[in-house]
Amino acid sequence: MEENQKLLIKPDELNEEEATTENNNQNKVFEVVYNTRLKEGEKPLSKVIGHENQKAELLNVIKWFKNSKELKAKGVSIPRGCILFGDPGNGKSLMIKEIIKCCDAPVFVFQGEKDNAVVEGIIETFKKARKAGHAIIVFDELDLLINKERRVLRALQESLDGVESDDDILVLAATNDLEAIPDPLVRCGRLEKLIKVPYPTAKEAMELFKKHVNDYGITLPKDFDEDEVSLSLHGLNCSGIKAVVNDIVLRNGFENITSEMIDNSIYNITDRVKSTPQEDNIEVATHEAAHAVVAKQYPQFFDINRLNISGASGSFHAREVEKDFWPYDKVLADIRISMAGVIGQKVMFGRACRGCESDLQNARVSAYNLFNISGYSTCSETLPVVRAGSRTETQLKRRRMERKIERLLRKCEKETYKIVKANKEKIKTLANLLFEKKHLKSTEILSVIG
């Protein structure tokens, strides 16, 4: 699991005259790769940090492909294609490179973006792969390729269907947006194996951080706190984690690295926008501090990560204790945390400010979804989706729903006021510290609010 790289694998050895001709052609639509094998003693997918479930499934795909002739002779169908999908920067291209090294087969890396005749290029790529017999075809950024024109999708579908049963061709593709890939292309018999490559977990982030630190030959300080740094790295993709280590070296060199230097580089990468010209604002610091104090009331749902301010803007970051699981109580806590910044400003200064609309909208959307999607009040009153982007309900039902949503928001607002008023001194102290230091990590925040 490493930074997202532009997938272009250079051949170690081109041992066919035809392949050399294709690679010397300026208008080539694919690059042929031969003899990309594991080095002696190298374990499969060893360069991919974390993602154990994904690697286990990919090792299955590799094993099936390497034994495809034997399996097909017994009437067993193997996957013809595999799509790695997920947000950019988390190692999809690296995984494909590592898969290729394990398969011991010629690889055709499609480069249709360099050729206007994309459809003809796809057909030609499959033709050459079938001629090679046991081969791999790679499509990077598949969503961008398909979006060029409808004929491209049709060419891909027909080429996949045209792979005869005695041909051993494995198609590997990567995309940032799986929803952009039409369903007919991912049905069984085509690109049927779908493997999500997510953001790194806290453990994986620390493992990756240490790998890059070792690659640079950096010695970590004696007071280095793994738990705190992994919390600060939350929300960064694999590319971002490498960027943090790179920033450390650029700013401080390779020796005598301190924990403060590490914290500053994490801040530089997590909050990269430096264009706000306004001076730092104590009201903004108070707004963010109030978020943190209210979030601290719900340690069963959220771990406080960091606070930042820059000019007239600020940010509060927290990590879910149990990722992607949202029971009702957690949604209610999230609504109160969203309201906390505005309410903190009102309690401390008697006013809020423009710029709070995103927090308030998050609270309202969460409340709306509780009733209309999650059945918070009653399952019978959830609103069905008729088609994408539209709903049908009577005006009476909508008014009834709105009244319930308003009552819930008022109740959450009252509860948030109580928490903020009971913790005014903590909010004030934390805001002053944030105003002074501009960014605070988890231990600094908790040292103030307990």
pLDDT digits (tens, 9 = 90+) for 271-281: 776 555 556 68
User: What is the distance, to the nearest Å, from the Cα of residue 219 to the centroid of all Cα atoms in its chain?
Assistant: 29
Burial 333-342 (b: 16+ CB within 10 A, else e): bbbbbbbbbb
Distance between CA atoms of residues 377 and 372, nearest Å: 9
- Domain ranges within the chain, ordered by starting residue: 17-196, 202-270, 282-449
Q: Do residues 261 and 252 lie in contact, with contact meaning Cβ atoms separated by under 8 Å? A: yes
pLDDT tens-digit readout, 140-198 = 888 888 876 778 888 888 888 765 555 688 899 999 989 888 888 888 888 889 999 99
Q: Which of 227, 181, 195, 216 is nearest to 98 (CA)?
A: 195
List of residues 6+ apart from 180 with CB closer than 8 A: 143, 146, 147
- pLDDT of 113: 54
Q: What is the 3-state secondary structure (H, E, C) of the chain?
A: CCCCCCCCCCCCCCCCHHHHHHHHCCCCCEEEECCCCCCCCCCCCCCCCCCHHHHHHHHHHHHHHHCHHHHHHCCCCCCCEEEEECCCCCCHHHHHHHHHHHHCCCEEEECHHHCCCHHHHHHHHHHHHHHHCEEEEEECCHHHHHCCCHHHHHHHHHHHHCCCCCCEEEEEEEECCHHHCCHHHHCCCCCCEEEECCCCCHHHHHHHHHHHHHHHCCCCCCCCCHHHHHHHCCCCCHHHHHHHHHHHHHHHCCCCCCHHHHHHHHHHHHCCCCCCCCCCCHHHHHHHHHHHHHHCCCCCCEEEEEEEEECCEEEEEEEECCCCCCCHHHHHHHHHHHHHHHHHHHHHHCCCCCCCHHHHHHHHHHHHHHHHCCCCCCHHHCCCEEECCEECCCHHHHHHHHHHHHHHHHHHHHHHHHHHHHCHHHHHHHHHHHHHHCEEEHHHHHHHHC
- pLDDT of 10: 38
279, 294, 419 from 352: Cα distances, Å: 18, 17, 17
- pLDDT of 222: 92
Residues in the chain, pLDDT under 50:
2-26, 115
Q: Class of the 17-196 domain?
A: alpha beta
CATH architecture observed for domain 202-270: Orthogonal Bundle (1.10)
> Where on the phi/psi map is residue 91: left (φ > 0), alpha (ψ -120 to 50), or beta?
left
CATH architecture observed for domain 282-449: Up-down Bundle (1.20)
Distance between CA atoms of residues 381 and 412, nearest Å: 21
The identity of residue 86, as a single letter, is G
Bridge partners of 137? 108, 171
Q: Which of 412, 378, 380 is nearest to 393 (CA)?
A: 380
- pLDDT of 166: 59
The identity of residue 36, as a single letter, is T
